[in-house]
Amino acid sequence: MRVSLQRQPIEEVQTDALVLLVFQDRREDRLGLGELGDAGEITGKPFETTLLHNVPGMRAKRLLALGAGKPPKFNAAELRRAAGAAIRHLKSKSITDAAIWLDAAQSGADDVSAAVEGAILGDFETDRYKTDKKDVKPVERFTVAVAEGGPHLDAALERGRIIAEAQNFTRELANEPANRLTPMGLAGHARRMAEQFGLECEVLDRDRMAQLGMGSLLGVAIGSAEPPALIVLRYRPASPSAAAHLGLVGKGVTFDTGGISIKPADGMEKMKYDMAGGAAAIGAMRALAQLKPAIPVTALIPAVENMPGSRAQRPGDIVTSLSGKTIEVINTDAEGRLILADALTYAQKLGCTHLVDAATLTGAVVVALGHIHVGLFANDDALRERVMLAARAAGDKMWHMPVDDDYKDYLKSVFADIPNVGGRYGGAVTAAMFLKEFADPTPWIHLDIAGTAWLDDAKPFLAKGPTGVPLRTMVRLAMDWQA
């Protein structure tokens, strides 16, 4: 999709379809829409679509009136969704050239970015392996049209394009089936991306990890014929402005069978997206390489396949992590925390001063928060505030969850320092408590994205499948970092 910004009056915009936002409880008089509103044919409800041809006085071939809801609720996040819904509606009608009109009230830098992001994200389809794609053509050209505005809007457009393209790259990775995306395969994608955008990429193989003592990570990998990889991507600014060094750690389980504690067959095919956190970290680095934040950022993606088999680790096994702590593996399906433990320790050895991990870690977070909010866990209030602000600005919904010491009682092992699972209750919290043992004392945020990295049903603005969450938050966090 080619995107551009144009400054001109609404009547002058040349496109196959011009999207105009219409609001609830507010009469839209322009372009003859007033009568349709009076007749109750246009209400302005979110994602309502009305497509009109040959509107008098307009150069655009069609006008798409798109419901935007109530004005007080409208913001950049809603605009992102509205733009996505418009694109998905238009492409369903085989319209591949579109523009969106932004009034003065909605044409700040964040609005322009959000509109472009929404359009590019909305255009994404999971049809990579469909041999017959003729019913959905990608949109070729998308224009953001405003009456006026300085060069900061051109920069915002470019930012939005970079971020959304990175997010679609992440979604493409998350959607890859496990036979086509192995741990080393994921490392290959990271390496090619790094070459293309000028990042450093280092891939630690099994021998190197064994040398370093990453027993927790390797214990998960041992059941699979596919060798593991610890992917490290580095961005260094020309002249760092702060002492901070951000570490982005992403769970990269390319397939999670559960191992010996095997999962039921029903729905197991979805466990190909158990590397969505890792894919988000790789995608975030793709964007950051182009946007160039002021602080160094290192991404670490422990990549493994969790398989049962005669070599696989067993419940009751005790492994020694890179930190030196011993772990009793009570359940081999709690593998994400085992690989993240070593990655979090290693991130600190590499000098990261602040850590953010993203992981499809627990079914329990889906029980707690459904598919709406990311579960956010923190051992540091200041970093939590930063991440919450970044998430709000980026339009990723996150909810703060507890990790206080009272929960430690849930994680007691008789035979080792710590077990890899807690009891029956508070599963998302005990998973986070486990990670905290390895992140402390470094300021750290854990994002449990098990419920939000994948859409089971399409939204008006997004295809069914991988969402790319929390890439935008990661990017925003790094970009907004002040010394």
Which residues bind to ligand BES, rule: CB under 6 A? 256, 274, 331, 333-336, 360-364, 366, 421, 427, 450
305 binds Zn ion, rule: CB under 5 A = no
Q: Cβ of residue 224: shortest distance to ligand BES, in angstroms?
A: 14
Smaller CB separation from Zn ion, 173 or 289? 173
256 binds Mn ion, rule: CB under 5 A = yes
Rg of the chain over all Cα atoms, to the nearest angstrom? 23
Structure tokens at 145: 């049209």
Q: Measured at the alpha carbon of residue 328, what is the angle toward residues 446 and 281, in degrees to the nearest 5?
A: 25
Contact set for Mn ion, span 316-355 (CB under 5 A): 333, 335
Closest-CB residue for Mn ion?
Answer: 333
Closest-CB residue for ligand BES?
Answer: 363
Task: Decide which of ligand BES, Mn ion, Zn ion, none touches 331; Cβ closer than 5 to 8 Å per partner kind.
Answer: ligand BES
342 binds Zn ion, rule: CB under 5 A = no
Smaller CB separation from ligand BES, 336 or 468? 336
Contact set for Mn ion, span 32-51 (CB under 5 A): none
DSSP string covering 46-83, please? Answer: TT-EEEEES-TT-SSSEEEEEE---GGG--HHHHHHHH
336 binds Zn ion, rule: CB under 5 A = yes
172 binds Mn ion, rule: CB under 5 A = no
CB 285 within 8 A of CB 233: yes
Smaller CB separation from Mn ion, 271 or 374? 271
Which range touches Mn ion (CB under 5 A), out of 218-226, 233-241, 254-262, 309-317?
254-262
Active site residue 263: yes
Residue-wise over 358-397: b if at least 16 C-beta within 10 A, else e?
bbbbbebbbebbeeebbbbbbbbeebbebbbebbbbbbbb
Q: Cβ of residue 329: shortest distance to ligand BES, in angstroms?
A: 11
Q: In whole angstroms, what is the distance from residue 285 CA to residue 295 CA?
A: 13
Single out the residue of 129, 104, 302 nearest to residue 216, CA to CA. Answer: 302
Could you give phi then psi for residue 192, rounded to 5 degrees?
A: -65, -40
Binds Zn ion (CB under 5 A): choice among 48, 123, 256, 437:
256
CB 346 within 8 A of CB 433: no
> Which H or E run includes 471?
helix 471-479
Q: Catalytic: which of 141, 191, 234, 263?
A: 263
Smaller CB separation from ligand BES, 109 or 334? 334
Smaller CB separation from ligand BES, 95 or 369? 369
Active site residue 70: no
Task: Decide which of ligand BES, Zn ion, Mn ion, none touches 363; Cβ closer than 5 to 8 Å per partner kind.
Answer: ligand BES
For residue 383, CA distances in Å to 354, 356, 433, 446, 471 come to: 8, 9, 17, 11, 17
Binds Zn ion (CB under 5 A): choice among 78, 172, 274, 396:
274
For residue 69, CA distances in Å to 23, 43, 44, 46 come to: 5, 9, 6, 5
Q: Cβ of residue 217: shortest distance to ligand BES, in angstroms?
A: 14
Q: Distance from CA of residue 46 to its chain's centroid?
A: 23
Which residue type occupies 272? Answer: K
DSSP string covering 124-172, please? Answer: --S-TT-S--TT-PPP-EEEEEES---THHHHHHHHHHHHHHHHHHHHH
Q: Cβ of residue 163: shortest distance to ligand BES, in angstroms?
A: 24
Task: Decide which of ligand BES, Mn ion, Zn ion, none touches 226; Cβ closer than 5 to 8 Å per partner kind.
Answer: none
Smaller CB separation from ligand BES, 193 or 276? 276
Smaller CB separation from ligand BES, 165 or 333? 333
Q: Catalytic: which of 80, 161, 251, 337?
A: 337
**Tokens 């969402």 belong to which residue?**
467
Q: Cβ of residue 450: shortest distance to Zn ion, in angstroms?
A: 8
Q: Which residues pair with 374 in a beta bridge?
A: 398
Please give the size of the binding site for Mn ion, defined by CB under 5 A: 3
Binding site for Mn ion (CB under 5 A): 256, 333, 335
Binding site for Zn ion (CB under 5 A): 253, 256, 274, 336
The set of catalytic residues is: 263, 337
